């Protein structure tokens, strides 16, 4: 705490006045990182098109690119390492970090209900992100960044698989 106080130009007493203990300070720091990592809905809407498949792939590309940033990679590693002590942070990272994308995708699925049959848009949106982003995210966090061609191949495959499962027949 003394080192943190020195870095921010405060006394230890001032830091403790804001944060009751190290755990509270850690939670606040992680929540701030989550806020900085989160892609706002407006940015998600900006990459989407009217074509359902293209919109899904654009959102997937954006999510993976965001996950590949050094800040996001460090955040994911911290969350993984500390999830047993602070499960609420892991939950907040998912809800807040993926929330705007899930909400956008759920709305997108509802707008395209003539093409696809999705009874639970929120669950379908979370499932889509898990399918398309999950694999690359694990590789990125482990330090094995796939090349752009591999990422694009994974995105196209997972998007096609998802759409084949939800298209009206």
Full-model pTM: 0.84
Q: How far apart are CA 18 and CA 67, in angstroms?
A: 30
Local confidence pLDDT in tens for the 169 residues of the chain: 777 778 878 887 887 788 888 888 888 888 888 888 889 999 999 999 999 999 999 999 999 999 898 888 888 888 888 888 888 888 888 888 889 999 999 999 999 999 999 999 999 999 999 999 988 988 888 888 889 999 999 999 999 999 999 999 8
CA 161 to chain CA mean position, Å: 21
Contact between 69 and 167 under an 8 Å Cβ cutoff? The reply is no
Taking the CA atoms of 47, 133, 98 and 109 in sequence, report the sign of the dihedral they define. positive
Q: For the chain, give every domain's residue range.
A: 11-166
Q: How far apart are CA 98 and CA 38, in angstroms?
A: 7
Q: How far apart are CA 47 and CA 122, in angstroms?
A: 20
Architecture in CATH for domain 11-166: Orthogonal Bundle (1.10)
């Amino acid at each position: 705490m003394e080192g943190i106080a020195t870095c921010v130009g405060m006394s230890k007493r001032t830091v403790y006045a804001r944060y009751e203990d190290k755990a509270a300070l850690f939670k606040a720091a992680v929540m701030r990182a989550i806020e900085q990592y989160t892609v706002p809905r407006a940015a998600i809407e900006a990459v989407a098109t009217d074509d359902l498949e293209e919109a899904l792939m654009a959102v997937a590309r954006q999510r993976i690119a965001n996950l590949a940033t050094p800040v996001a990679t460090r955040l994911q590693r911290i969350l993984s390492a500390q999830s047993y002590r602070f499960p609420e942070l892991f939950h907040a990272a998912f809800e807040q970090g993926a929330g705007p994308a899930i909400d956008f995708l759920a709305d997108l699925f509802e707008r395209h209900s003539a093409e696809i049959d999705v009874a639970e848009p929120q669950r379908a949106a979370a499932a889509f992100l898990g399918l398309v982003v999950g694999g690359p995210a694990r590789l990125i966090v482990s330090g094995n960044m796939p090349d752009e061609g591999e990422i694009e191949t994974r995105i196209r495959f997972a998007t096609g698989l998802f759409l084949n499962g939800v298209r009206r027949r």
